[in-house]
Amino acid sequence: MSNALEITNLKARLGDLEILKGINITVPFGEVHALMGPNGSGKSTLTHVLMGNDAYEASGSALVGGIEVMGLPVFERARSGLFEAFQYPTEVPGVSLDDLTVEMIDVADDPSAARTRAEDASQFLGMDRFMDRAINTSLSGGEKKRSEMFQLAVAGPKAAILDEIDSGLDVDAVREVATMVESLRSPSLGVLVITHYSRILRYMNPDRVHVMVDGRVVESGGPEIAERLESEGYAAVR
Amino acid sequence: MSHFDQAVSTTAGVNDPAWRSTARSTAFGMFSDDAMPTQDDEIWRYVDLDFVMDDYRPSAGATVDLGDDPLAAHIPNPTVVRVVDGLFVGEDSFAEGFTVMSLDRAAAERSDMVEVALDRSGISADGDIFKAASAAFGGDGVFVHAARGIVAPSVVAIDIQAGSNGTASFPHVVIAAEEHADVSVVVHLRSHVDTEALIVPQFSIAVGDGARISLSLVQNVGYGVRSIGSLHAEIGSDALFRFGEIGLGGRLARLHLDVGLEGRGSAANVVGAYFGEQDQILDYRYFMRHVGTNTRSDMFLKGAVEDDARSVFTGMIRIEESGQKTEAYQTNRNLILSDGASAQSVPNLEILANDVKCGHGSTVGPLDLEQKYYLMSRGLSPDSADRLQVRGFFEEALGKLPHPELATPVREWINRKYETAQAEGRV
């Protein structure tokens, strides 16, 4: 299936510690999936390994629209259409969001389309007052997520992994982020929302929910899985 | 026989008033007795001076002129003056209560004024051989003076050029703001890219009570020039001295800064940004003395080195017993961009008072890998990510410059150096 993010038998280790033990997830473009799991299940590692963090020793396959990204350098993965919204977006002092946007537009496949996406997203997300400020510096948790969503829009990826985008947010901000994610829905984009808690899923309509425990996907199904986890906890799937 | 025999020395000195010729001959005595400093001397510890004064000869007069100063073009309506090979070139400029003139002429024609300013913030000839040489052979430069309550009508842009190959020159800039006056000066220190010369620039800054002096120094000499500079500022009650230094050029570029916060409520803001490459040595020796009560100072320097370049920052905040209620901070952050490059960062505090707020921070390290990863995850190539990070690194310092209009050209110069280093595979 070339219109999808297809993760096949993905394994990763950190030194002697095996963290991912063969992950299989397919997110067709046009769909929003949730990946849930308790702390330490390997959710964030999956994000890092997909994006190309070289701290891990990884094997397996990850196709983005049919393009194998495993083995590519980080920036080539991004240019292949993969995007990571960070759980803890890195502060880059002295570099404004505007500076970064200019560079991102520069390296886009179609710079003029990227510029239009930037303008639209800036308006939709109300980014004006953030553009001159240093990236992720002196921003609230909610503002950082908003900035990540803006960058996602500028990048115009095929597959987006949103790592714990609800962490550190109050209820209002969670609802706001969920709305932003739903607004991303498009036939050319697959979204994988990684979350520990099911509360963000109350404000979204994920097409599928995957549950990860101890480095493996133990269950995949419809949104009812999230409801069950909310009432019974992860003990139900262990 | 030495090139620095008094009999064949410089053209300076012909206009000396009595006080100055006495000082000159005393300094010549010191110069004759002085040896080159060695690394055993704490204040020269990190710099191996691999030359002697006689490798140079005194400049015989202004010979080469580099043309219009590109930096002055960024300053709105500046008063432009030029010092070439240590000699003031061009016209003196007078406005009501505000004087910009040749230091040599000022010493002769306004002897009392110059003497008062130098009594306060002159640079002692017994400091080292370069200070002695400057007092003995130098003498010209620029005298900027604002009378009581005068706000200078324009920024003074001083273009100091090391023009002639093989020469030593000793330009001296004296800036005096009387009570409640306000003076703003930008100095561009430059040379032709291939010039080999020694330049010993001196800055004497006297800030009167309630006055303000803002001074930016952009050091942009060629890589064949050694620049050994000194700045001495004395700051009166409720007065403010703002100083920014941009260190770009020089085979050896040293600046010895000595700021005295004498007056009650006096303040100094010192900012710096430097970028070293090839085998440059950039050596900053910054001393902040808190003497008066309720004084404030902030030193903030950011620098990067690549290739085989070295930088040194030695900062000292000394708070005298009398300096109660002082607030003093020093920050020095360094980026190491190549394996062969190095930076020493040595902040010091000496606190004799007991009711003060003081802080210092110092870092030396490579570009941040997390920032790089984040930027690359947005599709930026490793080179673009590094370039953006280097640019961002300097922004904090550029944002604090006393003359914000200099940020644009300085940013461009620094970025160009880094991009060239990337293109040539040095970083």
Listed by start position, the domains of chain A span 4-236
Residue A238 has pLDDT above 80, yes or no: no
- B304 Cβ neighbours under 8 A, 6+ residues apart: B274, B275, B276, B334, B335, B336, B337, B390, B393, B394, B414, B418
Interfacial residues of A (vs B; Cβ cutoff 8 Å): 51-53, 73-75, 77-79, 83-84, 86, 89-95, 99-100, 103-104, 107-108, 134-135, 151, 155
Contact residues, chain A, for B387 at CB < 8 Å: none
3-class secondary-structure state, position A24: strand
- In the block, residue with structure tokens 């390994």: A49
Interface probe for B, chosen from A44, A69, A75 (most Cβ of B below 10 Å), is A75
Q: Residue B121: enclosing H or E segment and its boundaries?
A: helix B111-121
Do A95 and B389 count as a contact with CB atoms less than 8 A apart? yes
Reported confidence tier of residue A3, pLDDT bands at 50, 70, 90? very high
Other beta carbons within 10 angstroms of residue B355's beta carbon come to 10
Q: What is the pLDDT of residues B180-232, one digit of tens each?
A: 999 999 999 999 999 999 999 999 999 999 999 999 999 999 999 999 999 99
B411 close to A (CB below 8 A): no
Contacts of B423 (CB under 8 A, 6+ apart): none
A118-130 burial, b for 16+ CB within 10 Å, e for fewer?
beebbeebebeeb
A92/B388 CB distance under 8 A:
yes
The pLDDT, as a whole number, for residue B6 is 62
Q: Which residue of A has its CA nearest to B381?
A: A75
Domain ranges of chain B: 1-263
Query: Distance between CA atoms of B375 and B389, rounded to whole angstroms?
Result: 9
d(CA A143, CA B148): 50
Mind telling me how many Å the CA of A71 is from chain B's nearest CA?
14
| Per-residue model confidence as pLDDT tens digits over A4-63 | 999 999 999 999 999 999 999 999 999 999 999 998 999 999 999 999 999 999 999 999
Residue B196 identity (one-letter amino acid): E
> In angstroms, rounded to a whole number, what is the distance separating the alpha carbons of residues B139 and B204?
13
**CA-based nearest residue in chain A for residue B378:** A78
pLDDT of residue A201: 87
Average pLDDT over residues B400-419: 97
Q: What is the pLDDT of residue B8?
A: 42
Check A89 against B374: CB less than 8 A apart.
Answer: yes
- CA pair distance B202, B230, nearest whole angstrom: 5
Q: Given pLDDT bands bounded at 50, 70 and 90, which one contains residue B7?
A: very low
**Phi and psi of A68, rounded to 5°?**
-75, 120
Smallest CA-to-CA distance from B300 within B372, B221, B215, B360 is with B360
How open is the CA angle A217-A223-A226, to the nearest 5 degrees?
A: 65
Mean pLDDT over each residue of chain A, to the nearest integer: 93
Question: How many Cα atoms occupy the beta-carbon half-sphere of B276 within 13 Å?
Answer: 31
Q: Does B378 touch chain A (CB under 8 A)?
A: yes
Render pLDDT for A204-213 as a digit per residue (tens, 0 to 9).
899 999 999 9
Of A73, A89, A92, the CB nearest to B392: A92
Phi and psi angles of residue A2, each rounded to the nearest 5 degrees, phi first: -90, -15
Express as a percent the part of chain B with pLDDT over 70: 98
Judge contact between B234 and B261, C-beta under 8 A. Answer: no
A-chain CB neighbours of B389 within 8 Å are: 92, 95
The model scores a pTM over 0.80? yes
Closest to A156 (Cα-Cα) out of A189, A187, A131: A189
Give the closest residue to B100 by CA, choosing from B130, B145, B68.
Answer: B145
Residue B9's pLDDT is 46
In terms of CATH architecture, what is A4-236? 3-Layer(aba) Sandwich (3.40)
Q: Give me the percent of chain A exceeding a pLDDT of 70.
A: 99
Please report where in the chains the tokens 């991102």 appear, as a residue: A104
Average pLDDT over residues A198-222: 93
Name the least confident of A195-199, B23-27, B392-396: A195-199
CA distance B26 to B122: 15
Whether A100 and B375 lie within 8 Å, measured CB to CB: yes
Q: What is the pLDDT of residue A197?
A: 82
- What is the rounded distance in angstroms from the CA atom of residue B226 to the CA atom of residue B36? 14
